[in-house]
Amino acid sequence: MDASKHPILSSISSPEDLKALTPEQTDDLAAEIRSLLVETVTRNGGHLASNLGAVELTLALHRVFDCPADKLVFDVGHQSYVHKLVTGRYGRFGTLRQPGGLSGFTNRDESEYDPFGAGHSSTSVSAALGIAEAERLRGTGNYTVAVVGDGAFTGGMIHEAINNLGDRRNLRLIIVINENEMSISKNIGRFAMAISRIRSTPRYFRTKDRTRSFLSRIPLIGRGLVRATVRVKKFLKNALYGSNYFEDLGLYYMGPVDGNDRARVEEILREAKRCGECAVVHVKTVKGKGYPPAEQTPQAFHSVRAAGDSSTGGFSAEFGRVICDLAAKDPSVCGITAAMSAGTGLSAFEREFPDRFFDVGIAEEHAATFCAGLASDGLRPVFAVYSSFLQRSYDSLVHDIALQRLPVVLAVDRAGLSRTDGATHHGIFDVSFLSGIPGIAIFTPATYAALRKTLCRALGLPGPSAVRYPGGSEEPGIVARFYPGGDDGVIRQRAYSVGAGTRCVIVCHGRMAQTAAEAAEELTASGLDTGVILCEFIRPYDEALAGVLELVPSDCESIIFLEEEIRSGGFGMNMADAFARLFPGHPYAIGIVASDGCFPVPAEGQSVFEAAGVDRASVVAATLELNKEI
């Protein structure tokens, strides 16, 4: 990092240094942080607009609270970059989202200032409530603060946690709602905003404190007067401009205030500390603040690609084109997303078929059961969802979709290892957990043409199915090796360099076909004649195995199953099990190369595939080891 460009920021090694700054220096620091955010995120990729909007809010939090004794829990954690910068990680910030570098989210292994890791939405209040209860039981007196974006309130888990607050309102728990896109309360309009300005000024807080103190000292009736005054004030406020969700639940609500006005945020946070009960602080921030392109189009700068990434949507965009074509021919086709229309490629579908497009918010479990309802009444729902987010839908998949054999199509995006977002976004579990659910077909296209034909097939099935595909674009090497004459439109297993004399066959699916082919070429050059079979579908496994065996030569000696998902319950184990059941005396030596019982996190200079043990070198080594024993 070039400290000369950030003279104040480079001097901050902990929040204590931040507290020593004058207000003017703190505002200058905000400008330095914004400059560094734009420079780093546009180079490395990551979440830009939300972090630019949260600069003053984060500085205020660290100036008011005493971290790490007080705990800051960021929802999702994608808006924690400023938090990282003022908690001793400035020197490493250039490694953001790089192998061996800083995570793009909060991470307990990274810093004592990250008390709870994140990556998925709507977990913060549940976690913060648990932490606050632990602090209460230990009698520490520490505060716990959950920083929640308004978008997280589309997820039911947030509301479950707030409902669970119950009589725990005396906890030292503060929930900061960072509203930057949509309104979450009724108090809108000029009058309401004028009232909120009065209620969030230092003079208001001082007057309220003095009044409460004076009344409480009156003998015999003082405490009763305080309670009566609070009730009257609440009645008048509600009569004038209504209450809101939090106040209706009996929570102490404060705001809204301008979240980009650091001084005002600090004042309201200090009042929240003094109130003596669980409080909700509502701030309004501007996404992309201080960077005009991001302010004008915050959605475009929500998640920024790394410099040099020239991808144009890849499989997600192709899925969007295919689903639009299919919907134009079939009026029963519907598109469903859990707040990810742009990320999953459904934006065009939303424009072309608004009546058949449903964004349910960050509520994947609801999305799956909603799809079940659509399917039960004759429609053909397609739920486009990232593999790592589909994990939240498991009960709905089992109980509401599979048990009733409903024809719901899961378009499982970002399947496989995540190169940049890390362990929270690895799509390495869906094959295993879907394989355990009766009746679900699993398609594994590795090319755009295969994606189109498998989606067509999936929509014609009488029961549930999953079409899983990776992030990024198709590999030209896979197209050239496995489809040299073009795709014939038939869904089947495909062979590359498999024929008489092939001693070993690597069986794979998805983008692992590229790694498998490169490993096979290296093995063949070293004297072990090796070929590859690419599976376009993997479940039903018996049927998938039959397609593989049609291509395996009679003189083959060993078969390696390669996948980038977890080994336990995955493709390799299920195929090996099918072998054992159907052909108990088969002559092949069987090996499995998969992500083995870990959350792969690459070290500096290492790819995520190397960290998972599914890179070319690992495949070559495993294949040679297996064939040593023959």
Q: How far apart are the C-alpha atoms of 193 and 241, rounded to whole Å?
A: 10
User: Which residues face 279 on adjacent strands?
Assistant: 174, 252
Amino acid at 34: R
- Annotate 2-42 with DSSP letters as a single string: -GGG-TTGGG-SSHHHHHTS-HHHHHHHHHHHHHHHHHHHH
Known catalytic membership, residue 264: no
Q: Do the strands 537-539 and 530-535 form a parallel or antiparallel pair, or are they unpaired?
A: unpaired
Indicate which residue of 34, 287, 414, 567 is catalytic: 287
Catalytic residue among 392, 414, 494, 539: 392
Q: Token pair of 164, please?
A: 């669970």
Strands 537-539 and 441-443, sheet pairing: antiparallel
CB 411 within 8 A of CB 385: yes
56, HSE (Cβ side, Cα atoms, 13 Å)? 25
Catalytic residue from among 364, 365, 475, 565: 364
Whole-angstrom distance, CA of residue 610 vs CA of residue 617: 8
Would you call 474 a catalytic residue per the annotation? no
Structure tokens of 63?
A: 């100036």
403: Cβ contacts below 8 Å, ≥ 6 apart: none
- 392 included as an active-site residue: yes
Q: Look up residue 402 and give its DSSP letter.
A: I
3-state secondary structure string, 315-332? HHHHHHHHHHHHHHHCCC
CB 293 within 8 A of CB 302: no
C-beta separation of 513 from 534 below 8 A: yes
Q: Cβ(445)–Cβ(451) under 8 Å?
A: yes
Contact 410, 336 (CB under 8 A): no
Identify which of 622, 417, 389 has the alpha carbon closest to the alpha carbon of residue 512. Answer: 417
**Angstrom distance (rounded) from CA 336 to CA 377:** 16
| Angle (deg, nearest 10), helices 448-459 and 314-329 | 40
**Beta-carbon contacts of residue 363 (< 8 Å; ≥ 6 apart):** 154, 155, 156, 338
Point out which residues pair with 384 in neighbouring strands: 337, 411
Sheet holding 252-258, edge to edge: 71-74, 144-149, 173-179, 279-284, 252-258
Q: What is the dihedral of CA 545, 551, 552, 554, to 10 degrees?
A: 120
In whole angstroms, how far apart are CA 111 and each of 29, 89, 116?
22, 9, 10
Q: What are the structure tokens assigned to 397, written together?
A: 């998949």
> Alpha-carbon distance 439 to 404, whole Å?
10
Q: Where in the sequence numbering do the catalytic residues fall?
A: 287, 364, 392
